[in-house]
Structure 1
Amino acid sequence: MSLRSRLSIATAAGLLAAAAAVTPAAATHDDGDPSGGNGNHHDQNDPSGGNGNDHDPRLYEGVVTANTLALRSAPNRGSQIIRHAHKGDIVSIYCKTGGETVDGNPLWYLLTDGTWAWGAARYIDNIGPAPRWC
């Protein structure tokens, strides 16, 4: 494993630790619902007619394009599978890093949906701007 890969993983691990420290504060929504909910509620005062999604500005969104995508503990296909995502799933992306090349694409996204896991960017299309580097 190259020094750059090790540094990227170490940086991501530090970001994970920092994010975990602030995660409980995000459990209460602006509407006062302490249950954490699913992050979706419609604001009747929103004239834009948006989807009502409480989106963390530090996160990016993507859609899974593979029928089933293994999400892993590190940005390579040999690491432990944490869970699976399925075609059409909308995922929250924290950042991107270089890793094992998958079908010509060396980028991997760190996803924050319930568990922190890495997904090959080859099978996740961005919705909106490209994610920042880890």
Structure 2
Amino acid sequence: MSQRSTRTLTRFGIAVAGGALTALTVVGPAVAADSAGSANNPPPVYKGRITAKSGLLLRDAPTRGSHVIRSEPYGRVVSIFCKTTGDTVDRNNLWYLLADGTWAWGAAHYISNIGQVPRWC
């Protein structure tokens, strides 16, 4: 698969994921309860801390050559929506889709999990 095809599919996945989050926000707890099984068991919130000393560049696809959207400084706690495989960074091919206002991918090698490991996208 070409890098352009991968980027297009990734953007489509981000749009779908973003739409799902918007639906949860607009419709309210009833939808969230249905997707999680019960109102007393909401979906988990995943968190991570940026460990790259010079900060972490966040990209529009889980690849090292994709467009940089923004960056996060060392030590910042970020919200993680899900994980997927992508380009390998120091023997780690996992990437996290961050949901902190702008959907962006960060190499998991530079994000330390706080609590549960994120679900697969």
TM-score by length of 1: 0.66
Q: Do residues 17 (structure 1) and 3 (structure 2) align?
A: no
Task: Note the alpha carbon deviations across 1:26-55, whole angstroms, 9 max, x for none.
Answer: 8xxxxxxxxxxxxxxxxxxxxxxxxxxxxx
Residue 23 of structure 1: CA displacement?
4.3
Residue in 2 that maps onto 1:85? 72
Matches within 5 A, 1:30-109: 57-67=43-53, 68-109=55-96
More helix as a share of residues: 2
Output the CA distance in 2 between the equivalents of 1:82 and 1:102.
18
TM-score by length of 2: 0.73
Output the CA distance in 1 between the equivalents of 2:26 and 2:52.
32
Q: What is the Cα-based RMSD across aligned positions, in Å?
A: 2.5
Q: Is the 8 A contact 2:60 2:66 kept in 1?
A: yes
Number of matched residues? 103
Output the CA distance in 1 between the equivalents of 2:117 and 2:50.
15
| Structure 1 unaligned spans of 5+ | 27-55
Output the CA distance in 2 between the equivalents of 1:21 and 1:90.
25
3-state DSSP of counterpart to 2:93: strand
Compare CA radii of gyration and give the structure with the larger one. 1
Moved over 6 A (4+): none
| Structure 2 unaligned spans of 5+ | 29-41
